């Protein structure tokens, strides 16, 4: 068991014939008591500091554990988000490819229809040209026919008769 300052103070030494100087021993013991008391106080203060630091260490250890857990959770969440983003991007790419295929197919179908329409219009244009040509040729045949000469002769005869009758008509009115 450790000595207390009171133990040192109350210590009695036996006297011998040629012993130490009592005042010197008492003075030294007083100095030892003061130093011992100071050492005990320092020990107590240091123990309080150690206890406080241990408490803080425990608190910081808890914080460290919490932070480590938070970091792990954040890493797991980031990995999960990354995986979800990759899955979503693959779905978006597949959807875009489907839409692109659909658009290409629709464009091909539309171009086929337009091509068929163009072919139909070409056929109609050929038919129209053939009919127009036949019509023009028929009209040319009519123009080239000798009936025109007879028509011109008849018109001149009729015009001559009309002029001959015109003075008679003018006289009858007068």
Q: pLDDT tens digits, residue range 126-171?
A: 999 999 999 999 888 888 877 767 766 666 666 667 667 665 555 5
What single DSSP character describes residue 109? H
User: What mean pLDDT is reported for the chain?
Assistant: 86
d(CA 48, CA 53): 8
Q: Is the dihedral of CA 80, 86, 90, 93 positive or negative?
A: positive
Mean pLDDT value across residues 28-53? 91
pLDDT at 24: 81
pLDDT at 1: 56
d(CA 84, CA 161): 107
d(CA 109, CA 55): 79
Residue 6: pLDDT over 70: yes
Those residues whose C-beta lies under 8 Å from the C-beta of residue 40, and which sit 6 or more positions away, are 4, 5
Rg of the chain in Å (alpha carbons): 67
Residue 62: pLDDT over 70: yes
Q: Above pLDDT 70, what percent of the chain?
A: 84
This prediction has a pTM of 0.41
Which residue did the predictor score with more confidence, 20 or 34?
Answer: 34
Assess contact for 39 and 4: CB atoms under 8 A: no
d(CA 111, CA 105): 10
- 3-class DSSP assignment, residue 107: helix
pLDDT at 85: 96
d(CA 34, CA 38): 6
């Amino acid at each position: 068991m450790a000595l207390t300052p009171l133990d040192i103070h109350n210590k009695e030494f036996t006297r011998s014939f040629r012993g130490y100087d009592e005042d010197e021993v008492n003075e030294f013991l007083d100095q030892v008591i003061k130093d011992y008391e100071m050492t005990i106080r320092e020990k107590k203060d240091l123990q309080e500091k150690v206890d406080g630091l241990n408490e803080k260490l425990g608190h910081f250890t808890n914080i460290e554990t919490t932070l480590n857990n938070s970091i792990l959770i954040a890493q797991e969440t980031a990995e999960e988000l990354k995986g979800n983003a990759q899955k979503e991007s693959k779905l978006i790419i597949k959807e875009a490819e489907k839409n692109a295929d659909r658009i290409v197919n629709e464009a091909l179908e539309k171009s086929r229809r337009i091509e068929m329409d163009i072919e139909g219009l070409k056929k109609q244009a050929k038919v129209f040209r053939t009919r127009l040509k036949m019509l023009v040729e028929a009209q040319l045949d009519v123009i080239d026919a000798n009936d025109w000469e007879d028509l011109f002769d008849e018109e001149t005869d009729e015009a001559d008769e009309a002029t001959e009758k015109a003075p008679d008509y003018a006289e009858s009115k007068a």
